[in-house]
């Protein structure tokens, strides 16, 4: 029994030992590494003036661990050193294989950088170092802001100076241009003048010291009747061998026969006073259907509702009155509108633009522009406005403090002056009424000059607008910059210095038959 038990136990022991050794001797089969055979790398190529890009991209079982740039002398390009045109550079890219991956050795691995075969400097299986040579080729190219044909328009014989066309020029290449020049060619080269035609070396605009330069071309004054055409060309100067393609455009200018005014065939405007009168000492004419605003500054409702949108609503005419009120009544409603000049306080726009926005704020102004007799009614109303009513202790608007009455009255009157510059008014005035309007504005100009020693520029420019609208020939002898300034409402020192000239034109216009 004991012997049998001993045999059984010995058997179990031997089996256990065998199991242990079998278990310990079992090993997991090693996993074969993934072999990387190709790598396609993309990087920003050198561009003159640009800073070296130390990042690159590529897809595969690897990461890009380092990118560096070296110049021709094998000097490392630092982060603040820019590429230079005409130089050669080498980029060095180090790739690191991902875990359980390896680069194929010997001829089993190839790589490209920007699509071109890269030189494999080192291959350690886990890392690979690639090199690629870049030749930064010089690119010569310029751009200008003008192309095709520029038309200077037409002017009457004995015209004033035209506005010059200013052209911008810049280097869009990667190499400096060297000296350049601007020249005129064609049949009428002597009919135009250039300014800034000699241009020194231009660096690429992408470089730190790159810049845009300007030159200009303008028709000469004193040209006889005819059409003048020339070609403007920007090209390298004599002795400059850089292969820069030239840039060119054409200009044209027309001189028409002398302007002659003949209003004899124009139908005369029927005279009318619109039933308007003005009381002694009053500022404004009396209209039979004067509109009285129900909510005025100083009232409890006005003070309570400080929102400008609400207050503007108080200054609109009810629809039934808007369509039935006389045209003179519409003008009077503007002159008694509590907010007629509110936009002038702190406006960043030029005054003419400010007034145009103001007209859009009020339905009385919009309705006025629709009336066929708006021009005639405005002339009649304007003529009757008293210039010195404030000095007669007349309260222009009762809610305005006495010390501000003169200022506010002048502003409101300017609101009517600017109405004479609006096409909706000018188109409805015939020659006789235009002349009557200029005479009325001129009289108020003279009053301002006698009182303040200077002309009110709103009134002066209103007169010029009217004369231009009437085709008054002498006014077109003004220089083009002067005319553009007047029509655009831009008040610069040069325009203000020429007020006497504008006023002399107005005086001549009034007296011309």
Q: In terms of DSSP H, where are the helices of 386-428?
A: 405-419, 423-426
What confidence tens digit (pLDDT) does each residue in 206-248 have?
776 789 999 999 999 999 999 999 999 999 999 999 999 999 9
Angle at 135 between CA 134 and CA 139, to 5 degrees: 130
Domain ranges of the chain: 34-135, 142-256, 300-511
Would you say residue 335 has pLDDT above 50? yes
User: Nearest to residue 468, comparing CAs of 453, 455, 478?
Assistant: 478
Q: What is the CA radius of gyration of the chain?
A: 42
Question: What average pLDDT does this structure show over 94-118?
Answer: 90
If pLDDT is split at 50, 70 and 90, which confidence band does 2 have?
A: very low
Tokens of 261: 């005014």
pLDDT of residue 169: 96
Binned at pLDDT 50, 70 and 90, residue 274 comes out as: confident
* Phi/psi of residue 191, nearest 5 degrees: -95, 0
The answer to whether the CB of 81 falls within 8 A of the CB of 12 is: no
pLDDT, position 484: 72
* Res 29: pLDDT: 58
What is the DSSP-derived secondary structure letter of residue 441? Answer: H
- The answer to whether the beta carbons of residues 42 and 65 sit under 8 Å apart is no
CA distances from 89 to 128, 129, 433 (A): 20, 16, 78
pLDDT above 60 (res 368) = yes
Q: What percent of the chain has pLDDT over 70?
A: 87
Structure tokens at 187: 């049949």
In the beta sheet, which residues pair with residue 199? 180
Instruction: Tell me how crowded residue 391 is: count the other CB atoms within 10 A of its CB.
Output: 11
Phi-psi region of 385 (alpha: psi -120 to 50; beta: other; left: phi over 0): beta
Residue 387's pLDDT band, with cuts at 50, 70 and 90, is confident
Three-state DSSP at 35 gives strand
Nearest Cα residue to 133 out of 46, 75, 7, 245: 46
Identify the pLDDT of residue 494.
Answer: 55
Spell out a b/e string for 236-268, using b for 16 or more CB atoms within 10 Å of the CB, else e.
Answer: beeeeeeebeebebbbbbbbeeebeeebeeeee
**DSSP-assigned states of every residue in 84-124:** -TT-EEEEEEEEEEPTTEEE--GGG-EEEETTEEPEEEEE-
Q: Which tops the pLDDT comparison, 513 or 212?
A: 212
Average pLDDT (432-454) is 90
Query: Under CATH, which number does the domain 142-256 receive?
Result: 2.60.40.10
Q: Does the structure show a pLDDT above 80 at 436?
A: yes
Residue 417 is predicted with a pLDDT of: 94
Sequential DSSP letters for 318-341 = PHHHHHHS-HHHHHHHHHT-TTTT
Band (281; pLDDT cuts 50, 70, 90): confident
Planar angle of CA 367, 371, 364, nearest 5 degrees = 20
Does 401 have pLDDT greater than 90?
Answer: no
Q: What is the pLDDT of residue 369?
A: 97
pLDDT value at position 348? 65
At 8 the pLDDT is 47
**Per-residue pLDDT tens for 20-33?**
444 444 445 567 88
Alpha-carbon distance of 237 to 244, in angstroms, equals 11
pLDDT for the residue 496: 59
SS3 174: coil
Structure tokens at 265: 């065939």
Cα–Cα–Cα angle for 181, 187, 189, nearest 5°?
A: 40
503: left (phi > 0), else alpha (psi -120 to 50), else beta? Answer: alpha
Q: What is the mean pLDDT of residues 41-52?
A: 84
Q: 0.75 exceeded by the pTM?
A: no
Q: Is the dihedral of CA 416, 421, 425, 429 positive or negative?
A: positive
Instruction: Report the SS3 class of residue 14.
Output: helix
pLDDT tens for 162-204 read 889 999 999 988 778 999 999 999 999 999 999 998 998 898 8
Query: Residue 497: its pLDDT value, please?
Result: 65
- Segment 55-77 shows an average pLDDT of 88
Q: Which two tokens stand for residue 1?
A: 């029994």
Residues 193 and 199: their CA atoms lie apart, in Å, by 16
Q: Mean pLDDT, the chain, as a whole number? A: 85
Instruction: Choose between 359 and 136: higher pLDDT.
Output: 359
383 vs 487: CA distance, rounded Å: 24
Average pLDDT over residues 97-108: 90
């Amino acid at each position: 029994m004991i012997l049998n038990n001993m045999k059984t136990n010995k058997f179990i022991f031997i089996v256990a030992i065998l199991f242990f050794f079998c278990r310990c001797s079992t090993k997991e089969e090693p996993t074969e590494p993934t072999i990387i055979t190709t790598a396609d790398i993309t990087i920003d190529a050198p561009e003159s003036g640009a800073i070296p890009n130390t990042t690159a991209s590529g897809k595969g079982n690897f990461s890009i661990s380092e990118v560096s740039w070296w110049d021709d002398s094998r000097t490392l390009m630092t982060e603040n050193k820019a590429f230079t045109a005409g130089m050669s550079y080498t980029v060095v890219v180090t790739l690191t294989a991902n875990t359980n991956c390896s680069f194929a050795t010997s001829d089993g691995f190839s790589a490209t950088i920007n699509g071109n075969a890269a030189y494999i400097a080192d291959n350690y299986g886990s890392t690979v170092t690639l090199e690629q040579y870049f030749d930064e080729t010089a690119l010569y190219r310029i751009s200008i802001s003008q192309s095709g044909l520029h038309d200077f328009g037409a002017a009457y014989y004995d015209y004033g100076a035209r506005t010059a066309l200013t052209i911008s020029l810049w280097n869009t290449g990667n190499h400096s241009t060297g000296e350049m020049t601007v020249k005129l060619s064609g049949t009428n080269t002597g009919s135009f003048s250039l300014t800034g035609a000699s241009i020194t070396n231009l660096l690429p605009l992408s470089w730190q010291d790159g810049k845009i330069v300007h030159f200009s071309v303008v028709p000469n004054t004193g040209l006889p009747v005819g059409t003048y055409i020339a070609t403007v060309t920007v090209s390298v100067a004599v002795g400059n061998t850089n292969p820069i393609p030239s840039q060119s455009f054409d200009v044209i200018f027309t001189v028409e026969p002398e302007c002659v005014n003949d209003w004899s065939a124009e139908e005369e405007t029927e005279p009318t006073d619109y039933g308007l009168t003005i009381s002694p000492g009053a500022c404004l004419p009396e209209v039979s259907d004067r509109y009285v605003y129900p909510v005025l500054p100083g009232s409890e409702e006005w003070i309570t509702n400080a929102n400008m949108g609400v207050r503007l609503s108080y200054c609109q005419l009810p629809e039934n009155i808007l369509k039935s009120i006389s045209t003179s009544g519409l003008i009077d409603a503007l002159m008694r509108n509590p907010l007629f000049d509110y936009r002038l306080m702190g406006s960043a726009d030029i005054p003419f633009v400010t007034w145009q926005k103001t007209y859009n704020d009020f339905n009385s102004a919009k309705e006025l522009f629709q009336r066929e007799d708006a021009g005639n009614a405005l002339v009649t109303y304007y003529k009757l406005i008293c210039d010195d009513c404030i000095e007669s202790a007349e309260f222009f608007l009762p809610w305005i403090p006495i010390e501000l009455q003169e200022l506010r009255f002048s502003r409101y009157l300017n609101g009517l002056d600017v109405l004479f510059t609006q096409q909706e008014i000018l188109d409805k005035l015939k020659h006789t009424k235009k002349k009557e309007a200029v005479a009325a504005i001129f009289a108020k100009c003279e009053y301002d000059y006698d009182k303040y020693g200077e002309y009110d520029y709103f009134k002066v420019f209103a007169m010029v607008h009217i004369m231009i609208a009437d085709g008054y020939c002498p006014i077109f002898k003004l220089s083009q910059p002067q005319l553009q300034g007047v029509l655009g409402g831009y008040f610069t020192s040069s325009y203000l210095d020429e007020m006497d000239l504008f006023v002399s034109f107005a005086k001549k216009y009034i007296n011309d038959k």
